[in-house]
Amino acid sequence: MNKALCVVVALGGLIGQHAAHAQTPGTWGNWYIGTVVLPGSVEKKWGGYVEVQARSDGLFRQYFYNELKGGVSYDLDKNFTVLLGTGRYSTFDEPGPRTLEKRLWQQLVLSQYMDRLKIEHRYRVEQRWLHYQAEDSTAFRQRLRYRLNAFLPLNHKTVTEKTVFLSVYDEVFLNPRGPVFERNRFYTGLGYQFNRHLNVQLGWVRQANYSQPTLKQGQLLPLRASVKDNVVLTVIYRLAHRDATPRPESMPSQQD
Per-residue pLDDT reduced to its tens digit, 184-224: 999 999 999 999 999 999 999 999 988 765 555 555 444 56
Looking at residue 98, its pLDDT comes to: 86
Q: pTM for this one?
A: 0.85
Is beta strand 24-38 parallel, antiparallel or unpaired with respect to 46-58? antiparallel
Residue 178 CA: distances (Å) to CA of 41, 129, 175, 220, 237: 40, 17, 5, 16, 37
Nearest to 150 by CA among 18, 73, 33, 252: 252
Q: Whole-angstrom Cα distance, residue 126 to residue 256?
A: 13
Looking at residue 153, its pLDDT comes to: 97
Residue 236 CA: distances (Å) to CA of 109, 124, 159, 185: 18, 21, 14, 20
Nearest to 12 by CA among 164, 186, 189: 186
Looking at residue 106, its pLDDT comes to: 98
Domain boundaries, the chain: 2-238
Looking at residue 231, its pLDDT comes to: 97
Looking at residue 6, its pLDDT comes to: 47
DSSP conformation letters of 221-252: E--EEEEEEEEEEEEEEE---TT-PPPS----
Looking at residue 212, its pLDDT comes to: 64
CATH class of 2-238: mainly beta
Q: Whole-angstrom Cα distance, residue 111 to residue 101?
A: 30
Q: Whole-angstrom Cα distance, residue 255 to residue 33?
A: 9
Tally of CA atoms within 13 A in the half-sphere of 56 that contains its CB = 13
**β strands within the chain, DSSP E:** 24-38, 46-58, 61-77, 80-93, 96-113, 118-132, 137-153, 163-174, 181-193, 198-211, 214-216, 219-221, 224-238
Q: Whole-angstrom Cα distance, residue 166 to residue 238?
A: 19
Looking at residue 2, its pLDDT comes to: 47
Looking at residue 26, its pLDDT comes to: 55
Residue 207 CA: distances (Å) to CA of 48, 146, 187, 210, 229: 27, 14, 9, 10, 6
Cα end-to-end distance, the chain, whole Å: 28
Is beta strand 224-238 parallel, antiparallel or unpaired with respect to 24-38? parallel
pLDDT in tens, 128-148: 999 988 778 899 999 999 999
Residues 244 and 36: beta-carbon distance below 8 Å: no
Beta bridge partners of 92: 97
The stretches in the chain having pLDDT less than 70 are: 1-26, 94-96, 212-224
